[in-house]
């Protein structure tokens, strides 16, 4: 008798500079997770160039999908549904993934499901470490900094968000200014290990809403006014700047996380997004007392197709799918639900 296979979803993620395709069975078994990074192509510009990103996605999407199938030892007929990140992100990049996904879904006559990239990051930790709902969700990436109450895989209540720059953006811009390397977050995390976090005493923001965040003031202080905040006798080395900036950036976030836990009385917390790979943040969050914490493993923190496929499984199980007219969206406002 033939063994009955699970529900296999192919997840496509092309919202920014990673061309990623994964195959996930039954929502948690990752059969393949291919991430082709464009980082070397954007490094000369020290930031993502949208035109280059979409052109590379166009060239790479077919071979990356083939590789995901090969690594899972599957062919397209053995895929049960196609999921794709359709919002938010760089429009030209999103369009490549979404057009390709529509083509696959139409030819294979399989369900198509459009996934909100933000909800996918907030769900990524759940693949390996499922928490009971509700939990406090913290999304920290290059484009977003959001603290929210997560009611279920689709329902969010945003409690606080950045009023200007995203936390990852601040890491990237500081690293770019001091020519530390690219991408900034990884480099600062590494340099900070050899620096003194008290060499510079950078200020944090004072905001009306206690759960909102701001990173543009810190970024400006580090880039334009570092000397003003230098401790006596401390040297202005890249390591000291990195450690002091990182310490302040994570302090700003931790203060809000602690306040949100107190206010909501939630005892579970999931972190997601590229900055969730940050070693200081991981250390500080793990040290929180009386809170069950879920972090994605490093490969699931940054953009990947597995989080898209895993989250799509939940919608499919609830009978939700997208029409072939699925649209892309560069921005999403804080919708409480992404599907009706």
* Residue 303 within binding range of Zn ion, rule CB under 5 A: yes
Supply the minimum distance, in Å, between the C-beta of residue 49 and Zn ion. Answer: 17
- The candidate with the shortest Cα–Cα distance to 159, out of 249, 310, 269, 237, is 269
Answer for which of 24, 124, 186, 293 binds ligand KG4 (CB under 6 A) is 186
Task: Determine how many CB atoms are found less than 10 A away from the CB of residue 40.
Answer: 8
* Residue 38 within binding range of ligand KG4, rule CB under 6 A: no
Task: Check if the beta carbon of residue 85 is closer than 8 Å to that of residue 322.
Answer: no
Q: Pick the closer one to ligand KG4 by CB: 69 or 98.
A: 98
**Total binding residues for ligand KG4 by CB under 6 A?**
19
Q: Pick the closer one to Zn ion by CB: 166 or 242.
A: 166
Summary count for the chain: helices (H), strands (E): 11, 10
Question: Which CA distances in Å does 78 have to 69, 99, 227?
Answer: 10, 21, 60
* Residue 189 within binding range of Zn ion, rule CB under 5 A: no
Give pairs for 40-45: CB < 8 Å, separation 24+: 42/17, 42/182, 43/182
* Residue 305 within binding range of ligand KG4, rule CB under 6 A: no
Give the whole-angstrom CA distance, residue 101 versus residue 130: 28
Site string for ligand KG4, 102-141 (x = CB under 6 A): ---------------------------------------x
Binding to Zn ion (CB under 5 A): which residues in 267-296? none
Could you identify the residue written with the tokens 């603290």? 147
Binding to Zn ion (CB under 5 A): which residues in 136-155? 141
Answer for which of 115, 146, 275, 285 binds ligand KG4 (CB under 6 A) is 275
- The candidate with the shortest Cα–Cα distance to 149, out of 133, 165, 163, 164, is 133
* Residue 195 within binding range of ligand KG4, rule CB under 6 A: no
* Residue 169 within binding range of Zn ion, rule CB under 5 A: no
Give the whole-angstrom CA distance, residue 114 versus residue 164: 27
Q: Pick the closer one to ligand KG4 by CB: 126 or 302.
A: 302
List residues binding ligand KG4 (CB under 6 A).
Answer: 16, 141-143, 168, 171-172, 183-186, 189, 273-275, 277-278, 302-303
Q: In the complex, which residues of this chain contact Zn ion (CB under 5 A)? A: 141, 303
């Amino acid at each position: 008798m033939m063994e009955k296979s699970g529900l296999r979803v192919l997840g496509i993620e092309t919202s920014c500079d990673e061309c990623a395709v994964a195959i996930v069975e039954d929502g948690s078994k990752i059969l393949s997770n291919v991430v082709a990074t464009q980082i070397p192509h954007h490094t000369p510009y020290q930031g993502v160039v949208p035109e280059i990103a979409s052109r590379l996605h166009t060239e790479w999407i077919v071979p990356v999908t083939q590789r995901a199938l090969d690594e899972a030892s599957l062919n397209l007929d053995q895929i049960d549904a196609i999921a794709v990140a359709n919002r938010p992100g760089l429009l030209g990049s999103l369009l490549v993934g979404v057009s390709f996904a529509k083509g696959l879904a139409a030819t294979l006559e399989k369900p198509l499901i459009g996934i909100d990239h933000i909800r996918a990051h907030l769900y990524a930790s759940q693949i390996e470490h499922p928490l009971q709902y509700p939990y406090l969700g913290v999304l920290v990436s290059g484009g977003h900094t959001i603290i929210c109450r997560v009611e279920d895989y689709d329902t969010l209540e945003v409690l606080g968000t950045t009023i200007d720059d995203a936390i990852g953006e601040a890491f990237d811009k500081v690293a770019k200014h001091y020519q530390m390397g690219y991408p900034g977050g990884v480099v600062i995390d590494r340099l900070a290990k050899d620096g003194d976090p008290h060499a510079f005493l950078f200020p944090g923001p004072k905001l009306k809403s206690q759960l909102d965040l701001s990173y543009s003031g810190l970024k400006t202080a580090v880039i334009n006014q570092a000397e003003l905040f230098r401790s006596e006798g401390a040297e202005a080395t890249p390591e000291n700047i990195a450690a002091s900036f990182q310490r302040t950036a994570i302090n700003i976030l931790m203060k809000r996380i602690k306040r949100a836990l107190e206010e909501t009385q939630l005892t579970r917390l999931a972190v997601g997004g590229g900055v969730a790979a940050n070693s200081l943040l991981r250390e500080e969050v793990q040290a929180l007392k009386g809170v069950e914490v879920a972090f994605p493993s490093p490969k699931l923190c940054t953009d990947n197709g597995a989080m898209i496929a895993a989250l799509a499984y939940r919608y499919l199980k609830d009978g939700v799918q997208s029409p072939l007219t699925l649209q892309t969206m560069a921005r999403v406002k804080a919708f409480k639900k992404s599907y009706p």
